[in-house]
Amino acid sequence: MEKIYKKNQLIKNHYDTSINLKIKDYEYHRWFSSINNYLLFNDTYKAINRELTNLKYSSVIEVGAGSGIWSKFLFLNSSDLQLYDVDISKEMINLHKKYFPRSNSVEYINEDFTLLDLNKFEKKIDLFYSIRCIEYIENFNKLFENINFALKDSGRGLIITKKAPLLRKTKIHTTNNGMVNLKKSISDNGMEIEKIRPVSYQFPVPYLRNLTFLTRFTNFSLKLIFKDKITWFNYLFLETYLVLFKKNAN
């Protein structure tokens, strides 16, 4: 019998029970309800667009698309896209359907990606895409094993994920997987990292991070100084980062 990952199930329950009941407009709440949220949206938007314009793809698996705010940018950069939205939460898939135009170009799969039967995708996918989701996934190695299985030779992966916050334990994120583990899981599974770069910074002290001017100042100055590099120093302030990787041809 397949192992059920408890943490992944907790996340499923969280999204299935909290989203539509508590929040009327998820995208507004998540990305536009405060200046800090908007800055985060803007940083994420710029980072994604910068990569997508350089990639060629027509078949994409997006894991944890949520409402689909980042799915739209996939379509802007490809005219013949087939998108598979794999989401563990039924409610999040319903949300995607609510925000996103009905189209034959999107197929919904309500499943934990690490438990999904991927036979129909074997070596068929140009791009694995996941924004602000993999920090929830418990079984990291299985995640990258599955990605490698589904990607065509020389297929790409584009991920934006969260770094574990300093001085605070998160309840549902499994960010303890960490950047070191992420790099190892990618290379252990026959893929190679092309880029890792910062997307957004935050002030790493609880409560102070909510002060808009501190977040703005931290973001502005660290971007100016470190540009696309991640060093031990700016790593302390990092909130999210982008990873672009490639499957090696067998």
Rounded CA separation 9/213 (Å): 37
Buried b / exposed e over 41-53, threshold 16 CB at 10 Å, is: bebbeebbeebbe
Told to check if 243 binds ligand SAM by CB under 6 A, we report: no
Among 40, 81, 125, 137, indicate the residue that binds ligand SAM (CB under 6 A): 137
Q: Kindly identify the residues of this chain, within the stretch 198-237, that bind ligand SAM according to CB under 6 A.
A: none
Q: How far is the CB of 102 from ligand SAM (least distance, A)?
A: 19
Told to check if 92 binds ligand SAM by CB under 6 A, we report: yes
Told to check if 89 binds ligand SAM by CB under 6 A, we report: yes
* Range in contact with ligand SAM (rule: CB under 6 A) among 57-65, 77-85, 97-105, 194-202: 57-65
- In this structure, are strands 82-86 and 125-131 parallel, antiparallel, or unpaired? unpaired
Buried b / exposed e over 19-39, threshold 16 CB at 10 Å, is: beeeeeebbeebbeeeebeeb
Residue 209's Cβ-count burial label (10 Å; 0-12, 13-18, 19+) is buried
Told to check if 158 binds ligand SAM by CB under 6 A, we report: no
Told to check if 191 binds ligand SAM by CB under 6 A, we report: no
Interface mask (CB under 6 A) for ligand SAM, residues 6-45, using x and -?
Answer: --x--x---x--------------x---------------
- Alpha carbon distance, N-terminus to C-terminus of the chain: 31
Q: Give the neighbor-by-neighbor strand order of the sheet with 106-109.
A: 106-109, 82-86, 59-63, 125-131, 151-162, 238-247, 191-201
Nearer to ligand SAM among residue 48 and residue 226 (C-beta): 48
Told to check if 157 binds ligand SAM by CB under 6 A, we report: no
Among 73, 100, 108, 113, indicate the residue that binds ligand SAM (CB under 6 A): 113
How many CB atoms are located within 10 Å of the residue 122 CB?
A: 11
Which residues lie near ligand SAM (CB under 6 A)?
8, 11, 15, 30, 63-66, 69-70, 86-89, 92, 112-114, 131-133, 136-137
